[in-house]
């Protein structure tokens, strides 16, 4: 009598498997009629927008919690620009007060802050430990520094759109540009508008 071959120990469900970038959780395979495919895709896209899934931030981009109702914080703004070249006589009066909340976050409901770790963007003045002010209401156009999610991985890079191709550009020659391939999924989570940098 022939001994039965042992069943291979592979296959089946893997913990954490599935494309999670878009929905923030594991996905499942299902069959739908071909004619219903566009309807299902539209429904899922609408569901994703409504849910506004909170991202799982990587170690090199740490979210900074904003106060729900930040109080006004005004500081003196002198009516004189400072020269980086030769010294010039200083004005001895204050022209107005500047509210830092309004200056840094004019659209606070669409703004979030991130702390950066790493030096892939030092060429545009973004250093390790800097805090980025990110506005989700702005359109990510060519040449803007953006917070991008590529296949579920976060990064801060300059967006380049040329001849129908999209690339994410670092600002450090030690890092390679990222060229978006057809099968990759890209989401833009906001445009960087300010950098808070300590000297």
DSSP one-letter code for 60: T
Residues counted in the chain: 199
Active-site pick, 157, 165, 194, 198: 157
Distances (CA, A) of 91 to 46, 60, 66, 78, 110: 56, 42, 35, 8, 37
Taking CA atoms, 178 is separated from 125, 128, 168, 174, in Å, by 20, 20, 5, 13
- Residue 35 annotated to the active site: no
Question: Does 157 qualify as catalytic in the annotation?
Answer: yes
Contact 112, 55 (CB under 8 A): no
Q: Transcribe 116-145 into DSSP letters.
A: E-SSTTGGGT--TT-EEEEETTS---TT-E
CB 114 within 8 A of CB 61: yes
Catalytic residue among 120, 137, 161, 198: 120
Write out the catalytic residue numbers: 120, 157
């Amino acid at each position: 009598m022939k001994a039965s071959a042992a069943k291979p120990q592979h296959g089946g469900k893997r913990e954490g498997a599935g494309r999670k970038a878009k929905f923030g959780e594991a996905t499942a395979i299902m069959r739908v009629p071909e004619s219903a495919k566009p309807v299902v895709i539209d429904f899922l896209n609408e569901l994703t927008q409504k849910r506004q899934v909170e991202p799982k931030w990587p170690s090199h981009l740490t979210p900074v919690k904003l106060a729900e109702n930040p109080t006004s914080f005004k500081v003196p703004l002198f009516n004189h620009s400072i020269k980086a070249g030769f010294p010039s006589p200083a004005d001895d009066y204050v022209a107005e007060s500047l509210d830092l909340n309004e200056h840094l976050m004019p659209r606070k409901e669409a703004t979030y802050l991130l702390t950066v770790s790493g030096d892939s963007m030092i060429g545009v003045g973004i250093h390790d430990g800097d805090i980025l002010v990110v506005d989700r209401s702005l359109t990510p156009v060519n040449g803007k520094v953006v917070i991008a999610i590529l296949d579920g991985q976060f990064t801060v890079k300059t967006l380049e759109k040329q001849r129908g191709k999209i690339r994410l550009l670092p600002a450090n020659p030690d890092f390679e540009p990222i060229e978006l391939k057809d099968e990759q999924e890209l989401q833009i989570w906001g445009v960087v508008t300010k950098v808070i940098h300590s000297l």
